[in-house]
Amino acid sequence: MNRIRKLMRRTTTLALISGLIGAGTLFTDTAVERARANTTPVDQNYALVWQDEFNGSEIDSSRWEYQTGPWGSSGVQNCYTKDSDNVSVGNGTLKITALHEPGTRCGGQVKDFTSGFLQTKNRHSWTYGYFEARVKLPTNGSSTWPAFWMSPEKSTYGSWPRSGEIDVFEAKGFDKKFIAANAHWGINDSKRRQQPGHAPVADVGQWHTYGVKWEPGKLEYYLDGKLFHTIDNFRSPNATSHPGPFNIPFYLRLNMAVGGTYLRPHSDANQSLDKLPAVMEVDHVRVWQKQQAPATKAPVRRLPIKQSSGSTVALTFGEECLNIAGGSSPYAPHRLGNDHVVRETVRLRINCDNQQPATGYTTRVTLKLTKLYPDTGRLRLATVVNRAVEEDLTGKVSYGTSADGKYTMATYHVTDGGFGDEDGRANGTILHSTAIYEG
């Protein structure tokens, strides 16, 4: 850093900025934006927060876990495995394949069929949002039961169906025009509540995008971006609560069962062995969530920042500092709502000749702010010297109230203890900029 200072004039820009940074990750891929426009029924208040495009060569274990073993209900006849013959990724898609494999040992049982099952359990779960998958289903497997669905991360209201289930789609291998959407809730299986709906689809063997928009008290089901089913009456004698149980985190599930009571009259896959293997192909899975917006949407207005008559601007840089001047910006933008944001700017122009060893410099700027502004703020100090990062500056801000109680007094303290006698002449501008958040 000292060598750099010898070679160039020193221009220091000091910025005190808010340390509040959003934790969500937004995806801006052009294809994703195109998908939003074509098939995703969400507006600009939603952001893509999770996705798998299956562009690799294997299952992403940071996104998915395998559900393995037998399925203990609904007459399902297959064993779910991790075998690449049943679950694989290649050529830009996920493939879940149902096979006839007689004598397969499966959790203490013997099964004649195998298939695949992925879920985001223990990886990712969400409360509310829009969830979609682009899928091409098999039409040759009469006894296959493919599904894209959601289950609660925790049994908050009790065992199934008390804590709910959201079925984005279910299909029947023997009917290429059948797609069902559903949700389950209630006290027990005999008093279970559900509201199935069916989509008008010409051929499930073609690529289609299946989605559900889940909001408080409502589930909306979509096929290729068009709404075809809504569930919004969770309140009933058999429901746990309203909008419960659909107000807790749920995770995603993708699977294809073989056999089962849902497939009547094709419940027994042994009657259609010639229909296997059958492949369920998935192009992508995406999750969108609504971003938090201010509770009150008010127009931006500009408010003056007044500099106190008793405010001080002091700069010390060795013993040779000249031409010290201070000032403040005449206006600060202010946005009403959950977050009250104030931005103020103070510029100090200096011309210092540092021919002797310096002990560092200190600036102190006190501004008189309108009472509307808060008395607290969290700041992070960022420093740049001629576009290079400077690391030897420290800073803080303190707040007080004017004697008449009408104003907030904000004082900024900035110190640089890293100057040395080799720094030479320094000319430049120190810029203080802060954002104060109230909420």
How many Cβ atoms are within 10 Å of 66's Cβ, its own excluded? 17
Q: Choose among 12, 17, 7: nearest CA to 388.
A: 12
What's the sign of the alpha-carbon dihedral 144, 145, 148, 152?
Answer: negative
Query: CA triplet 25, 245, 24: central angle to 5 degrees?
Result: 5
Cβ-Cβ contacts under 8 Å for 354 (sequence gap 6 or more): 317, 318, 320, 419, 421, 423, 424, 425, 426
What is the residue whose two structure tokens read 């599930």?
253
Q: How far apart are CA 332 and CA 314, in angstroms?
A: 23
Beta bridge partners of 49: none
Give the 3-state secondary structure of residue 153: coil
Q: Which of 170, 220, 281, 390 is catalytic?
A: 170
Residue labelled with tokens 């279970």 = 192
Per DSSP, the residues of 314-334 read: EE--TT-EEEEEEEE-SEEEE
Q: Is 274 helix (H, G, I), strand (E, B) or coil?
A: helix
Show the tokens assigned to 153: 């991360």
Query: Of 132, 165, 281, 390, which is the active-site residue?
Result: 165
What's the CA gap between 171 and 254, in Å, rounded?
A: 12
Task: Give the helix/strand (H/E) hosting 58.
Answer: none
Assess whether 165 carries a catalytic annotation. yes
Q: How far apart are CA 15 and CA 141, in angstroms?
A: 64
Has 170 been annotated as catalytic?
Answer: yes
Residue 398 · residue 37 · CB < 8 Å: no
| Residues identified as active-site | 165, 170
